[in-house]
Amino acid sequence: MKRLAFLIAGLLASAPTLAATVAITGGTVATAVGDAVIANGTVIIRDGRIAAVGANLPVPAGATVIDATGKFVTPGLITAMSTLGIVEVEGVRQTNDASARNTPFSAAIDVTPAINPMSPPIAVNRLGGVTRAIVGPEASTEIFGGQGAIISLAASGDILMQGRAFQLIEMGEDGARSAGGSRPAAWLNLRNGFAEAQRYARNPAAFDSGRDKDSLIKRLDAAALVAVVEGRVPAVIHAERASDIIGVLGLKQEFPKLRIILIGAREGWLVADKIAAAKVPVITLSLHDLPDSFETLASTRSNVGRLVAAGVTVGLGIFAGDSGAQPRNLPYFAGNSVAQASVPGGVGLTRAQALATITRAPAQIFSLTDLGTLEPGKRGDVVVWDGDPLELTSAPTAVLIDGVPQPMTSRQTLLRDRYRDLTPGALPLQYNK
């Protein structure tokens, strides 16, 4: 009976919370649709979807009302790349499933089985207004890093939205190192992988024993790359140097169905017109201004502003370091891209453009058509902020995912509350006076 009780409790805990009708009233609503900002705005969410957005709308009978007077209301933030759910502590190997150092596989690796909905960084970032995340692997011994996923940061229910959502590919200096020590080797490795995938698609039986006598990659890796070369799954390709970016754009001539997403692109501003003409989106960050490698010598904080000015769709995010596990900081990257416009010689973003880099643009890049803006029919991912979300001192006061208000707690806040009032009765026994 105890086992049954625990099972029922577990099922109830994992079941999604049902969305009621919610009305968020009186706030400054930044819809992320163009430059639209609605003063004294109302957002009505019904059955998990946005039903109406406007000024002074009537509140439906029986709706749960969230008073946003004096506050800002935005779409839920979407990080265009992260390691949420697969990395808890970057430097602790046992908690880091982003890369596999000794596996014989590469492109076939799928991060989905490693995603942990109880991972503490998920709640921390939800508290920061992040409602959806693109989760990517990190390449290690091969240029093909594996397949990423898209998740919700909801506190209950199945957080996986889409598995095997894209393929991560390393080029540039990291790709050269993985391929044997040079960029030519990396490019040959890439073209061979795509050619092997095409050959696998024509004759899967030829790969039945893993590596066949003519193949340089595993059968499962070739199979995973078929969806990439056929354009059903995008290729997220890491390239920083301008010449590497040009090489990536040129892949479309050999593999015309390829759907390319650039990540990194620190020197992207040098070839922004070519990226825009190719209609290739970019995932990057806005505060890189000092070269930390030979492939980033032209780094500048105006990179994002110049890319957007050229017509490139830019989403903020990255898959390594603190930025990968802490996308709650993305509003501050976006805010800095606005401030860059006031720097002599700098090129920055408008506030609406900056908000788009962490809401609408990531949704567009990964074809999340019902996310990223506050419009009727979109999912009810909404954040209420106590101030301008692009300012360092602002923080969310309410977060809704699919119309469901989320708990404004994390492991850190619970520990804070537990030990803030250290009365003798609250101390563990080992701390007796």
For residues 178-203, give the mean pLDDT. 93
Residues 65 and 156 in one domain: no
pLDDT exceeds 70 at position 213: no
Residues 268 and 287: beta-carbon distance below 8 Å = no
- Give the end of a domain, one of 321, 342, 371: 371
- Give the end of a domain, one of 326, 353, 371: 371
Question: How many domains are there within the chain?
Answer: 2
Share of the chain above pLDDT 70, in %: 90
The pLDDT score that the predictor gives to residue 5 is 43
Q: How confident is the model at residue 344 (pLDDT cuts 50, 70, 90)?
A: very high
Residues 91 and 112 in one domain: yes
For residues 284-289, give the mean pLDDT. 90
Residues 356 and 383 in one domain: no
The pLDDT score that the predictor gives to residue 224 is 96
pLDDT exceeds 60 at position 225: yes
Q: Which residues contact 234 (CB under 8 A, 6 or more apart)?
A: 165, 166, 167, 228, 259, 260, 261, 366
Q: Residue 53: which of 76, 67, 74 has the closest Cα?
A: 74
Of 104-108, 148-152, 204-208, 382-386, minimum mean pLDDT range: 204-208
CA distance 234 to 261: 7
3-state secondary structure of 77: strand
Q: How confident is the model at residue 7 (pLDDT cuts 50, 70, 90)?
A: very low
pLDDT exceeds 50 at position 11: no
183-202 and 172-179 are packed helices; what angle lies between their axes, rounded to 10 degrees? 70
- Distances from the Cα of 51 to the Cα of 115, 366, 389, angstroms: 32, 24, 23
- Give the end of a domain, one of 334, 350, 371: 371
Residues 204 and 238 in one domain: yes
Residues 132 and 371: beta-carbon distance below 8 Å = yes
Q: Residue 334: which of 30, 98, 29, 28 has the closest Cα?
A: 30
Positive/negative CA dihedral, 60, 62, 66, 69: positive
Q: How confident is the model at residue 13 (pLDDT cuts 50, 70, 90)?
A: very low
Of 192-196, 307-311, 399-403, 423-427, minimum mean pLDDT range: 423-427
Residue matched to tokens 């490795």: 189
Residues 226 and 197: beta-carbon distance below 8 Å = yes
Q: How confident is the model at residue 266 (pLDDT cuts 50, 70, 90)?
A: very high
3-state secondary structure of 42: strand
CA distance 149 to 163: 5
Residues 144 and 222 in one domain: yes
> What 3 state SS string does 339-403 have?
HHHHCCCCCCCCHHHHHHCCCHHHHHHCCCCCCCCCCCCCECCEEEECCCCCCCCCCEEEEEECC
The pLDDT score that the predictor gives to residue 431 is 57
The pLDDT score that the predictor gives to residue 318 is 76
Residues 353 and 389 in one domain: no
80's tokens: 């265009």
pLDDT exceeds 60 at position 281: yes
Q: Which residues contact 137 (CB under 8 A, 6 or more apart)?
A: 86, 98, 99, 109, 111, 145, 146, 147, 148, 168, 319
Measured at the alpha carbon of residue 86, what is the angle toward residues 81 and 87, in degrees to the nearest 5? 90
Residues 288 and 200 in one domain: yes
Positive/negative CA dihedral, 321, 323, 324, 325: positive
Q: Please give the residue range of the domain that contains residue 46.
A: 1-75+374-433
Residues 254 and 391 in one domain: no
Stronger pLDDT, 410 or 98, i.e. the higher one: 410
Residues 129 and 244 in one domain: yes
Residues 362 and 407 in one domain: no
Residues 35 and 157 in one domain: no
Report the CATH number that the domain containing residue 66 is assigned in CATH: 2.30.40.10
For residues 380-388, give the mean pLDDT. 98
CA distance 193 to 195: 5
Average pLDDT over the chain reads: 90
> What are residue 260's DSSP bridge partners?
235
Report the CATH number that the domain containing residue 356 is assigned in CATH: 3.20.20.140
The pLDDT score that the predictor gives to residue 205 is 83
Q: How confident is the model at residue 141 (pLDDT cuts 50, 70, 90)?
A: confident
CA distance 51 to 29: 15
Q: Which residues contact 102 (CB under 8 A, 6 or more apart)?
A: 141
Residues 426 and 316 in one domain: no
For residues 334-363, give the mean pLDDT. 97
Q: Residue 160: which of 135, 139, 185 has the closest Cα?
A: 135
Of 251-255, 274-278, 418-422, 427-431, minimum mean pLDDT range: 427-431
